[in-house]
Amino acid sequence: MAEQQWRIEVDRGACLGSGMCTGIAPEHFTLVDGRSQPVKEVVAPDELLVDAAESCPIEAILVRGADTGEILSPEQ
Protein backbone atom coordinates (compact mmCIF):
# COMPACT_ATOMS: atom_id res chain seq x y z
CA MET A 1 0.00 0.00 0.00
CA ALA A 2 1.38 3.40 -0.97
CA GLU A 3 2.04 5.97 1.72
CA GLN A 4 -0.61 8.67 1.93
CA GLN A 5 0.37 11.96 0.33
CA TRP A 6 -0.48 15.43 1.59
CA ARG A 7 -1.65 18.39 -0.51
CA ILE A 8 -0.45 21.88 0.45
CA GLU A 9 -2.81 24.75 -0.32
CA VAL A 10 -1.99 28.43 0.16
CA ASP A 11 -4.60 31.16 -0.18
CA ARG A 12 -2.28 33.64 -1.88
CA GLY A 13 -4.94 36.35 -1.75
CA ALA A 14 -5.07 36.12 2.03
CA CYS A 15 -1.32 35.57 2.58
CA LEU A 16 0.42 38.52 4.23
CA GLY A 17 3.91 37.31 3.31
CA SER A 18 5.07 37.07 6.93
CA GLY A 19 7.52 34.32 5.96
CA MET A 20 6.66 32.13 8.96
CA CYS A 21 6.14 29.14 6.68
CA THR A 22 9.40 29.62 4.81
CA GLY A 23 11.25 29.90 8.11
CA ILE A 24 9.68 26.72 9.50
CA ALA A 25 9.63 24.59 6.34
CA PRO A 26 11.85 26.16 3.66
CA GLU A 27 11.91 22.91 1.70
CA HIS A 28 8.12 23.17 1.28
CA PHE A 29 7.44 26.93 0.89
CA THR A 30 8.88 29.84 -1.03
CA LEU A 31 7.87 33.49 -1.32
CA VAL A 32 6.89 34.66 -4.79
CA ASP A 33 5.98 38.33 -5.21
CA GLY A 34 5.82 38.61 -1.42
CA ARG A 35 3.34 35.75 -1.01
CA SER A 36 3.81 32.15 0.08
CA GLN A 37 3.70 29.39 -2.49
CA PRO A 38 4.25 25.64 -2.04
CA VAL A 39 7.40 24.30 -3.69
CA LYS A 40 5.36 21.18 -4.60
CA GLU A 41 1.61 20.85 -4.10
CA VAL A 42 1.61 17.12 -3.29
CA VAL A 43 4.24 15.82 -0.89
CA ALA A 44 5.03 13.02 1.54
CA PRO A 45 3.74 13.68 5.08
CA ASP A 46 6.01 15.97 7.09
CA GLU A 47 5.27 17.38 10.56
CA LEU A 48 6.96 20.64 9.51
CA LEU A 49 3.94 21.27 7.27
CA VAL A 50 1.64 20.99 10.29
CA ASP A 51 3.87 23.42 12.20
CA ALA A 52 3.87 25.88 9.28
CA ALA A 53 0.09 25.75 8.81
CA GLU A 54 -0.52 26.22 12.53
CA SER A 55 1.97 29.11 12.67
CA CYS A 56 0.46 31.08 9.79
CA PRO A 57 -0.92 34.27 11.41
CA ILE A 58 -4.03 34.30 9.20
CA GLU A 59 -4.42 30.57 8.48
CA ALA A 60 -3.72 30.98 4.76
CA ILE A 61 -2.19 27.47 4.63
CA LEU A 62 -4.17 24.24 4.55
CA VAL A 63 -2.69 20.76 4.62
CA ARG A 64 -5.07 18.10 3.27
CA GLY A 65 -4.95 14.40 2.62
CA ALA A 66 -4.28 14.26 -1.13
CA ASP A 67 -6.67 11.34 -1.66
CA THR A 68 -9.38 12.27 0.83
CA GLY A 69 -9.35 16.07 0.83
CA GLU A 70 -9.61 15.91 4.63
CA ILE A 71 -8.11 18.98 6.32
CA LEU A 72 -5.20 17.78 8.46
CA SER A 73 -3.93 21.19 9.55
CA PRO A 74 -4.64 23.66 10.96
CA GLU A 75 -7.17 22.09 13.29
CA GLN A 76 -10.65 23.34 12.50
- Please list the residues that pair with 65 across neighbouring strands: 6
Tell me whether residue 1 is in a domain: no
Domain range for 44 is 6-73
Which pLDDT value is given to residue 75? Answer: 86
Instruction: Summarize pLDDT for 29-44 with one digit per residue, the tens.
Output: 999 999 999 999 999 9
CATH of the domain at 34: 3.30.70.20
Which pLDDT value is given to residue 2? Answer: 59
Q: 58: exposed, middle or buried (C-beta count within 10 Å: 0-12, 13-18, 19+)?
A: exposed
pLDDT surpassing 50 at residue 74: yes
Tell me whether residue 23 is in a domain: yes
Tell me whether residue 42 is in a domain: yes
What is the C-alpha to C-alpha distance for residues 33 and 18, in angstroms, rounded to an integer? Answer: 12
Number of compact structural domains in the chain: 1
Q: Is the pTM of this model over 0.75?
A: yes
